[in-house]
Each structure stands twice: as C-alpha cells, then as structure tokens.
Structure 1
C-alpha cells in the first residue's frame, strides 16, 4: 500500500503544471503583435496536424482491427477509384489554402516596418552588441556582464549562483512600451543573429547588409535573448537584455544618457592623472579586450597576441593609438568608444602586465581620429 501511495504521488507530481512550468516545450507567446501572430499560426497548424493524425491513424487502426485475417477478411482487388483520388487531392489542397491565407498575413505583417515610430540600429561585433538611437543621438556597446565573466572558468556552484549567468549585460537596450520600433540589424565583422523570442524577432546581422524587423511591445518588463548564429569562440557570451519601460521613464532615460554623453565629452578635454587612467582603463580592458587578450594580458597566441611584453604596448604611443582606432586583421576598430575610454585602456595596456609604456591622454586620441 505504501508503494502504491508513493507511485501515485510521483505521478501527480509529474503531471502537475508547476513541474511542466519549468520545462515549457511549446513556442513562446511573446509580448508583441508579431509574436502573437506567429504563436497563433503555430497553434493553428499544430491542431490541424493533430486532427489529420487522428483521422489517418484512426482509419488505419480501425481497418487493421476490423478487417484482420483472423476474422476472414478478404482484401479487395481494384486498380483505381476516381472518387478516392479526387478526395485525397482536393481535401489536402483545401487544407493547405486554409493555412496559407493566415500564414501570408503573418508574413506580410512581419515585414511591414512602415508604421515605425522610432528606429534602433543594432550592430553585431565579436562578441558584443552596439546599439544606436539615430533620433536621440545615443550610442553604446552592450557587453556580457562582469559577474558572468568572473565565473566562466569557476565552479558549477559559482555559475549557478551568478545573476542570470551568460544572460546578463553591462548596459541594456531600453525601449518604450506601446511604441512601434524598427530595428536595423547589421554586423561589423562576421554573421551574427539578433534573437529576441519574446518579441518574435530573429534576424541575421550580415556584414555589409542591413536587415530590418519591427516590434510593438505590449508589456513593461525585462526580456532576454541571445546571438543565434555561431560567430566565433565567444559566441555564447553575447546575450541581449532589453528593458521595456513606460514612455515617461523612457524620456527620463534619454535625458540621463544625453547628460552622461555631455559629461564624457567634457572629461575628454581635461588632463587625467595616471592613477585615474589606470583605474578606468582596467574596467574598459576587462569589458572590451580581455575576451581575446585575457585578463592577465597573456593573450591566445598566435591568433590573439599577448599584451604582456607587446611591441605595440611598449612602443610609440602613436602606433598604439592607430592600432586601437583602426584595428588590424582580426582586431576590430574601436572608434565607437569615447576618447577618455580609449585613453584609459591604452594607458592601462601600456603600464599593466609589467609593461613600461607611456601615458595616453584623451587629447592624444582626439587628435589621432
């Protein structure tokens, strides 16, 4: 009796919705009209397939059971049936047309970006995202959060305790709710893919091309996505995090970003101390450079050379500035970073890891652009 009770308890647990909530196998319904349309189309096709399966397999099993040899059934012998041929030709055509009409509407809606109220440009880099707000004049990079970077090579317990491990970023894309937003998606190096399942958006970011998509988000909240294209060794380390806020909060965020940009521009006109440059440079280095050159500067030769003992880092500052601004080979350009950020990171590279280079000021970077 005890065994039976335990078995029943296990079965109840298995079929409970709380358990299945952890293992959702259906498509995400999402929070946009596009995602709702895709979900509705998916469910329609699913149930049509279920009905077809029931009819076909039901007829098959009924025939096998009713007309079995043990009951003395004798197989019919005929070559053709015009009626049967018409049925199995016309019925599938009707089913396909009934599915094609709503599918076409969803596809047309998916590609129609004409009603967009604002535009966001998304650029994929190895291995981060760059977001530009053309109308607002805002631009920034979104990198894997340091909390995730710190435990990549740590223990399983450390990774489990990390805040949204591999799904958190240092700077989030912020969007207003109930606003039609057009996304212009491209790449600076290799093919990436900007995938936000809750928005119903999954679009390739191709170098030299611009793909577009759109979304009108219904619900305030935080949504997470990932790069869905194998783009290199750190492909799994470029997540997407979007904060959807009220329109009033969005205006406040825009004002805050513009003020921060003005402060950044002002900071680029002053002369920084070496200590301040080193402190700021370490943060910029860990965010933008450590993925290839490693946090200890040892690099991953021969593809990613070491910063420790580097000819560039220990050589003339002008050559170092030129390399960081314009890139070379597998190293991308870093012109999008501010003058103070670039001056700080180069000063850090030239004086950390046992290097003996000079100090780079923001004015040096500005004159070299």
Structure 2
C-alpha cells in the first residue's frame, strides 16, 4: 500500500512539473526579437504578429488539454488497473456513444481553430488602405529599400565592424563579446513609422532571398522576376532585427535586416532630411561678364553684315585664256 502512495505522489509531482514548464513557456513569449533558449513563440510588435501569436496559443492550449486528458487517462489506467493488483480487464467490442463523442468533439475543435485562423490569414494578405509602400529588393548580399513615391532609397549592408571581425582569423572572444550585435547590425537600417499601415513589395535581382523579421510576424520570399506583397503595422517604437531566410550563396549568413521603428513625426523629419540630402545640387550662378570683354558672336554678326553691305568685295578677275 505504501508503494502505491509513493507512486501516486511521484505522478502528481511529474504532472505538476510539466504544468510549470508549460506556464514558463507561455511567460517567456514576451520579447519582440527571439532570445537564446526561448521556449515559445514571441508576441511580436505588429498586428499580424499578434494574430499569429493568438492562433498559436489557441492551438497550443488545445493540444495541452488533449494531452492532459489522454496521457492522464493512460496514467490512471496503468496505475489503478495494473495486473499486480489483480484487476480483471473489461471485455467489450464497441461503444456507440463513445464513438460519436470522439468523432464529434474533434470536428468541433478543428472548426473552432480553423475559423479564426482563416480570418487572420485573409487579413494578413490584405494590403488595401496602406498609407505608404516600401519596395524591398534582395541582392547578393545586401538589401535595397525604396520608399515609393518619395524619391528616397537606400542600400543596407552588414556593418563594417562585423565585416572586419568575421574576416579576421586572429579575432578573440573578447572582441566578439564587445560587439553585442555581431553579424546582426547594418550600415543603413530601414526606418519605418509606427501606427501606420505599410505595404511591402518584395523582389530580388539575382537569386531567391527571403526577407524575415520575426518581430513583424511574417516572412516573404524575394524572387527574381516576381513581386510578392505583404504589409505591417508596427505598434511599438524600437529596433527589430532579422535575417535573409533563404540560402542564397556563400555570404547568405551576412545579410542581416534591421528595422528602426519611430513615431510618425520623427519619421517625417527623417524622410524630409533624406529628400534634402538626395536632392540634386542647385546650378552655380553665371559669372558676371567684364565690361571690356569681346562681343559675343551673335552680336558681332550684324556688324559684319553691315560692313559687307557698305563695302562689297570686288569681282574676281577673269581667268587667263
């Protein structure tokens, strides 16, 4: 009898530990960018990311409930009705009520999961009513961004310090630790406004790339000759990092993405500064003409014509016979 009590206590401890692990998995999903040893999907900082997180958590908790019921029933059956206790197994071939229940319940569960997931998937691809458009072009091994209709574009590459360290054969661990965003920084981040619906058109110039920022909640392939669409609405200012998510050649690992989300007023100021910086220089003013300068050809021509009229040239002498 004492052994039965000990086994029951162990079973309760095991189930309690499993429940605590699941709770900690849910609690660890608060950060925008992925973290080492993160147990769960992140919430992200966009409407799309939150939709994906909600669908994920709905499916997760349904699976947890089903797992607890199924494995709990198995554990109880193996403990209470084990052979060592002399229990005689029941003999039956079928149970109509049970069969109806385990057919109808999964259908209801799947429909309950499919309806909201379908609505969110449709919304994820609805780029209508966007307030601005950004063109993203993948190139080996960098990203080009163009703010459509604004005459502003930039090229985003791996930052120089990361590029130097990755090629230094004698680099030390201390040097890498001193660069917290090693291989994750760029020279020119993509600057976007918050609380603004932004449409992305994504393509590539050479091979297939994939533009992926986990905090935004989606990944879009960049394919030469094809334009894909996506949209985002960033809810919180901050810096969000990503990577090219499609093997695209020898430097595929060195195509980081950095998005800097700022309030709309700050974005408008940045955009105006970029327009001014990219505007063509004004032509230099013409130099003043000295008073004693020779007359221009157009002014000298009438004087020459008057002289020819007043002093006609003599007729040519006849040739010798």
TM over 0.5: yes
Deviations 1:3-60 (A, max 9, x none): xxxxxxxxxxxx9x9xx78632211111111111111111111111111000000111
Match of residue 174 from structure 2: 157
Relative to total residues, which structure has the larger helix share, 1 or 2? 1
- How many positions carry a matched residue from both structures? 250
Residue of structure 1 aligned with 2:80, choices 41, 66, 74? 66
1:43 aligns with 2:60: no
Q: 2:152 aligns with which of 135, 138, 145?
A: 138
Residue 201 of structure 2 aligns to a residue whose secondary structure is strand
Matched, 1:238 2:255: yes
Question: Relative contact order (alpha carbons < 8 A, sep ≥ 6): 1 or 2 greater?
Answer: 2
Q: For residues 170-181 of structure 1, what are the structure 2 equivalents within 5 Å?
A: 170-181=187-198
Distance 1:152 1:40 in 2: 39
Contact 1:148–1:163 under 8 Å retained in 2: no
CA distance in 2, matches of 1:173, 1:58: 50
Alignment partner of 1:261 is 2:281: no
Map of 1:196-345 to 2, 5 A cutoff?
Answer: 196-262=213-279, 265-266=280-281
**3-state SS in 2 of match to 1:186:** strand
Deviation at 1:204, TM superposition (A): 0.8
RMSD: 2.0
Offset at 1:213?
A: 0.9
For residue 204 of structure 1, give the secondary structure of its aligned residue in structure 2: strand
Report Cα offsets for 1:196-252 as digits up to 9, x if no partner.
111112111111111111111111111111111111110110111111112111111
Counterparts of 1:63 and 1:29, CA distance in 2: 39
Is structure 2 residue 90 aligned with structure 1 residue 76? yes
**Which segments of 5 or more consecutive residues in structure 1 lack a partner in the other structure?**
1-14, 270-369
CA contact (8 A) 1:45 1:99 kept: yes
Kindly provide the CA deviation profile for residues 324-352 of structure 1, in whole angstroms up to 9, marking residues without a partner as x.
Answer: xxxxxxxxxxxxxxxxxxxxxxxxxxxxx
Instruction: Give distance in 2, aligned partners of 1:22 and 1:77.
Output: 52
Which residue matches 1:129?
143
Larger-gyration structure (1/2) = 2
C-alpha displacement of 1:115: 2.1
- 1:191 is displaced (CA, Å) by 1.0
Do the aligned residues in 2 keep the contact of 1:147 with 1:163 (CA within 8 Å)? no
Instruction: Give 3-state SS (helix, strand or coil) of 1:169's partner.
Output: coil
Poorly superposed stretches of 4+, deviation over 6 Å: none
SS of corresponding position for 1:152: helix
SS of the equivalent of 1:150 reads helix
In the alignment, the residues of structure 2 paired with residue 22 and residue 130 of structure 1 have an alpha-carbon distance, to the nearest angstrom, of: 29
TM normalised by structure 1 equals 0.65
Q: Which residue of 2 aligns with 1:113?
A: 127
| Residues 272-325 of structure 1: per-residue CA shift (max 9 Å, x gap) | xxxxxxxxxxxxxxxxxxxxxxxxxxxxxxxxxxxxxxxxxxxxxxxxxxxxxx
Q: Distance in 1 between matches of 2:127 and 2:54?
A: 21
- State the Cα distance separating 1:85 from its structure 2 match: 1.4
The reply to whether residue 93 of structure 1 matches residue 107 of structure 2 is yes
The 5 A counterparts of 1:5-44 are 23-44=37-58
State TM-score, norm by structure 2: 0.74
User: Any stretches of 5+ residues in structure 2 without a counterpart?
Assistant: 1-20, 29-34, 285-321
Any idea what the Cα deviations from partners look like across 1:61-109, whole Å, max 9, x if unmatched? 1111121112222223332222221111111111111111111121111
Q: Residue 266 of structure 1: CA displacement?
A: 3.8
